[in-house]
Amino acid sequence: MSLLRMSAKAVVQAAGAGSLVESLATQFRFTYGFEAGVSEERSWGNSLPALAHALVDAGLEDVEVLLEYPVPLSSYRVDALLAGAHPTTGEPAYVVVELKQWTAATPVPDAEDLVTVPGMGNTARLHPVAQVRRYCDHIMDFTRSLHGHEHRVSGAAFLHNATDFDVDSLFDLPTDEYGQLFTASSRGAFQDFLKQRLAPLSGARAADALHPEQIAPSKKLMSVAAAEIQQRSQFNLLNERVCCTIG
């Protein structure tokens, strides 16, 4: 499961008390058997409070936040998986959130799902919308409680240090329910997005439904896999944080 699970309000409180990163680092060490990197701890300290404050300011302080949620049957982790109830239907609702500290980014020519980031070398990285969309797909494919209920999941990338102007060309990549893009200057739109999908209620029950025993491939995925194997074609990788070198 996730490294930590708590309400949005509790995340804000832990961050304010200076204990959030320490708690995540301790749980990381316990879970994986080695220390988290300095850059990862810095990311936790900068990005997670930005998300939690956005939730609390939107009146969603009781939404459950699953921090560093492992993507099933992979080595990847989602920055935050929000669990709650849909404001209209009352069904369990989940929002997969990818957080970036980037202040700017530019798409790679002729590769709309790849970007380069100033100060991070000439290595292309996956567009954050493409990244969160792949996370959503994988979580839906491998979480039994979501099979047949894919409408309960949505995804967003939140570039909390950038403005829309700073990353305007990233908006050229088409978005959908599983991949939206927001920045500091569209924080209000991000909060509207969250309020349309999550009610101001406890998300504990929705989070409980994601326990490890629920991990299993969907029948649809198994059928696709069988066809792929028969045709001897190759599966696409879930995600590549480092995709290629430009130049």
Sign of torsion, CA 108 112 114 119? positive
* pLDDT of 102 above 60: yes
**What value does the mean pLDDT take over residues 160-166?**
97
**What value does the mean pLDDT take over residues 20-44?**
96
3-state secondary structure (DSSP) of residue 61: coil
Higher pLDDT, 39 or 237: 39
List the structure tokens of 236.
């696409």
C-alpha separations of 172 from 90, 114, 133, 194 in Å: 33, 12, 15, 22
**DSSP result, 167-211:** TGGGGGS--BTTBEEEEGGGHHHHHHHHHTT--SS--HHHHHTT-
Per residue in 176-195, pLDDT (tens digit) is 999 999 999 999 999 999 99
Q: Is the pTM of this model over 0.85?
A: yes
Relative to beta strand 64-70, strand 4-7 is antiparallel
**First-to-last C-alpha distance (Å) of the chain:** 40
pLDDT class for 214, splitting at 50, 70, 90? low
pLDDT class for 247, splitting at 50, 70, 90? very low
Higher pLDDT, 219 or 94: 94
* pLDDT of 223 above 50: no
Q: Considering the chain, what is the average pLDDT of its residues? A: 88
